[in-house]
Structure 1
């Protein structure tokens, strides 16, 4: 596949995820390097949706460590029990936060972040390998359509772990 996304305009998010999915699948299915795949997934999501920040925090050294991302500089290390990323890791579930200021223990890596969705990514043995963190500079910007669309993309990464 050419390193170019075909992104329709004037479509709802669910449809946009449907159009984006095979393009991301094509990018990652023949690439064996995890860093390259995570970088391309982050870039594709940022380009397609214009999210404020998209990236991965990888489980390392007993915490979540910043991995490939797109957006402004970010927190480098997050304890498993802190913030939305830590909560997603600990609960092993997707968390949608409509207003980050209302989330107890939110870590403000950027004051421009207003809402957030975080999804855990699992190893084949069932442990959490990393989380996908997506931030928006708009309040209440994420819905079940994002959770479903991003979960499909996460499955592509999980097959590579």
Structure 2
């Protein structure tokens, strides 16, 4: 059976990391988290990270995912996956290894995002960075055939 690459897509506080942790056992997958890679690199995303640093982080994530797929291990990529060119690049990685590709979009209302952030009382994002992030977010286009999740309710995951 070929490996699978599951790409999570969604804004900050949409539940991507929660979904990744819950799906990983189902697919016997390893999570590649760009937030974790940034942390290893000493970067804090909530304060804003320069584009050139995000490019390096994506490079490290791609290298990790490629190594896992080469070993026939399925991968869940935990990232916002915005803009589209990043999603297209992950599709190409999956194709390089004949891996099944699934794009999961956590389509969460911005009001819920703000509520979650307030409830969690975390320093993850400054107000300015969150506002810009929500304004700039590029959700999947119709031709990308994303699976839309409107919550982190596992019942909506059946058939993935």
Shorter-chain TM range is: under 0.3
- Higher relative strand content: 1
TM superposition score normalised by structure 1: 0.25
TM superposition score normalised by structure 2: 0.25
- Higher relative helix content: 2
Q: Which has the higher contact order (CA 8 A, sep 6+)?
A: 2
